[in-house]
Amino acid sequence: MSIDSTWLRCPNCLADLSPVDDRVYGCDHGHRFDRSKHGYLTLLPPKAPRTVGDDREMLAARAALLGRGAYLPIAQELLRTAFPADPGSARGHLRVVDLGCGTGYYSQHLMEARPDTSFLLADRSPDAVRAALRAVPGATGVVLDIWRPLPLRTEVADVVLNVFAPRNPSEFARILRPGGRLVVVVPRPEHLRELRERGLLLDIPAEKSNAVTEQLAAAGLARRSAARVQYLLEADTDTRALLAGMGPSARHAGSLAGGSTDGSADVTVAVDVLAFERASPSG
């Protein structure tokens, strides 16, 4: 696995990174970063929190659920929103950053539609980046802290993906080229409501999409489109356990065994897929 250093800057001093040798990348100020044996770079700033992101159990639950096609309609809408023109048309070589990439499921769908696209896959979890690189061969993988200044160069991305992940509005705007597109997937209050009503998942604030829109607008990112994806997912006991186990409420997943019944039941999937654009200098 290779690293495309044209994406990257030093998390310590913010100078550009470049290869020092076949496994080491560094900046002109002497900071050095080793490529892991799994093919990614860890670019965390000094005194970064010791959190590790999603653990292997959460990622395994997510991979199993996504592998069943449970969120395929979301991936399809994400593709339409990220690449609004005909995917077969000639639009030039695109560069996509997936921030909070998880297992790489959504970037994989984009890659299959536009194989000429370059991808940078980033997450706080090393296990997530490792899994994502398996899903999107040839991508550059980075472990980073999304809350801090990103170790990515200014105006380096045509598209930024932010799917069920934290947001850093000013940094998202900085790394997008003028006219670039940010695509955010936000759960609606009714998302997985059947599990939330039983106390198995954390609540989702009302009007979350509007709050996200206001937050991003303050950073110079204007909302261009919004699409609702909502459907009923037929979910057996195992699927319900995966839904609870793949996210922040994973600690509640064990309670499914005591409170659920055998057989299948419908679970609501409901998200907003929002597209934002960074204004060009001319307005």
Q: How far apart are the first and last CA of the chain?
A: 40
Domain annotation covers residue 113: yes
Domain annotation covers residue 246: yes
**pLDDT tens figures, 46-87:** 877 777 767 888 999 999 999 999 999 999 999 999 998 754
Report how far apart, in Å, the C-alpha atoms of 33 and of each of 5, 23, 76, 133, 136 are.
12, 9, 36, 18, 22
Q: How many domains does the chain have?
A: 1
CATH number at 53 reads 3.40.50.150
**pLDDT tens figures, 220-271:** 999 999 999 999 999 898 998 898 888 655 444 444 433 444 567 899 999 9
190 pLDDT exceeds 70? yes
Q: What angle do CA 40, 41, 46 make, to 5 degrees?
A: 150
88 pLDDT exceeds 80? no
| Residue 206: per-residue pLDDT | 83
Answer for the pair 164, 66: CB distance below 8 angstroms, yes or no.
no
Domain annotation covers residue 283: no
Average of pLDDT values for 105-117?
96
Domain annotation covers residue 205: yes
**pLDDT tens figures, 149-185:** 999 999 999 999 999 999 999 999 999 999 999 999 9
Calpha distance 209→186 (Å, rounded) = 6
Domain annotation covers residue 80: yes
Domain annotation covers residue 22: yes
**80: domain range?**
5-278
Domain annotation covers residue 207: yes
Domain annotation covers residue 228: yes
Q: Radius of gyration (Cα) for the chain, nearest Å? A: 19
